[in-house]
Amino acid sequence: MPRRMLAPSLAVLAAVLLGCTGCVTFTSPDPAAGTSAAAPSSYLDRLKAAPVATPAQEAPGPDGVAVTAFITEDRNIACAMTFSRAGQAASPWEPSNFDDDALKSAPLVPVVDCQLAGYPAPAAATDDCAGTHLGFLGGTVRLSPDAVAYGNCRAGVTAMEAAYGPKGTPSDILADLPILAPGQGIDASGYRCAPLDDGLACANLSNGVGFHIDRDAFTALP
């Protein structure tokens, strides 16, 4: 008896389903769906696409050149889009010695010079600090036209760490820097910078050399 009643029951059920106009339909997900989604854009691509802000207020720099400086909204990264001479960069928070006779003949090189309050440790010491071994430490980034370096020789904390670190003392110079909003780009000295993904990306757009840095990691581009 049960075997004879099965077919009519299925037929009735099919008729009911076919006649239903307000039914909710559940579909199984396509196993292939989503596998062809585009990969996230690289930091370089996102820098190129970032809307460019009106340049932050420029301050007089060495030999009449302009220095464009900014700070991120979270007060963790400050950068000067500036120039260096014999390895020394002009920035609002650190006086340069460009007037020294030993430096006057050295060429001016456009750079982006950044300091952080919270930062990752450098991967390894790459400098003996001119034989002083004072310490090759993280917390600074220097981007030049063809290279980028994270960390430098210093004996104390960075200017940002001194102002905004756990035991920091607010700095009027750093507090007065214009804020560069997340996702907003700024161009100066041949470079573009933009806060991206809780950090900052900067690059020489002509050759792609640059970096992204946040509190946890430093990444050289490309």
Single-letter amino acid code for the residue at 158 = T
| Any domain includes 29 | no
Question: Rounded to whole angstroms, how far apart are CA atoms 54 and 123?
Answer: 35
| Any domain includes 98 | yes
Strands (DSSP E) found in 107-217? 108-116, 136-144, 147-153, 179-180, 186-188, 191-196, 199-204, 209-213
Report which of 184, 112, 183 is spatially closest to residue 149, judged by C-alpha positions.
Answer: 112
> Phi/psi at 168 (nearest 5 deg)?
-75, 155
| Any domain includes 204 | yes
Question: Rounded to whole angstroms, how far apart are CA atoms 81 and 68?
Answer: 5
List the pLDDT tens digit at each of the 222 positions of the chain: 444 443 444 343 344 334 433 332 223 334 444 444 444 589 999 999 999 976 555 665 555 667 899 999 999 999 999 998 888 888 888 877 777 777 778 888 999 999 999 999 987 888 888 888 888 999 999 999 999 999 999 888 999 999 998 888 888 899 999 999 999 999 998 899 999 999 999 999 999 999 999 999 999 998
Question: Rounded to whole angstroms, how far apart are CA atoms 19 and 58?
Answer: 73
What is the domain extent for residue 197? 43-221
Tokens describing residue 132: 């002083």
| Any domain includes 111 | yes
Which tens digits make up the pLDDT trace of 102-119? 777 888 899 999 999 999
| Any domain includes 182 | yes
Tokens describing residue 127: 């400098």
Bridge partners (DSSP) listed for residue 192: 187, 203
Q: What is the pTM of this model?
A: 0.77
| Any domain includes 2 | no
User: First vs last Cα of the chain: how many Å apart?
Assistant: 75
| Any domain includes 22 | no
| Any domain includes 217 | yes
> Is there a contact between 151 and 139 (Cβ–Cβ < 8 Å)?
yes
Question: Rounded to whole angstroms, how far apart are CA atoms 50 and 193?
Answer: 9
Give the number of domains in the chain: 1
Tokens describing residue 91: 């920035």
Single-letter amino acid code for the residue at 10 = L
Supply the pLDDT for residue 35.
41
